[in-house]
Structure 1
Amino acid sequence: MATVLITGGSSGIGLGFARRFAADGHNLVLVARDQARLDKAAAELHDRYGVHIDTISADLATPDGCATVEKHLTSTAVGVLVNNAGHSLPEPYPRSPLADEERMLDLLVRAPLRLTHAAIPGMVARGKGAILNIASVAGLLPAGTYGAAKAWLIHFSESLRRDLAPHGVRVLAVCPGFTHTNAPHIDTIPVWMWLSVDQVVDQAMRDLRRRKPRSIAGRHFKLYATAVHHAPRRLAARMARSRTPKD
Structure 2
Amino acid sequence: MRTTRRTTLRSAAVVVGAATVLAVPVGSAFAYSPAGSSTGPAASVRAYVTTVKLADGSVAKVYKIGDSHFEADLFAGSTKLDRLVSKGGAASYGQNDGLHVVLQPNGTVTSWMDGASKPQPKPASEKEIRKESSVRITMTDGRIAELVDGPNGKRVELSTPKGHALATIDLRRPSVQHDGWTYKLVRDGKHVKFVVIDGKGGGNSWVYDFDGKLIEKYTVDPTGVGRPVLVASGGGTAAAGAAGLGFTALSHQG
Alignment TM-score, normalising by the size of structure 1: 0.25
Q: Which has the larger radius of gyration?
A: 2
Question: Structure with the greater relative contact order (CA < 8 A, sep ≥ 6): 1 or 2?
Answer: 1
Higher strand share: 2
Q: Which has the higher helix share?
A: 1
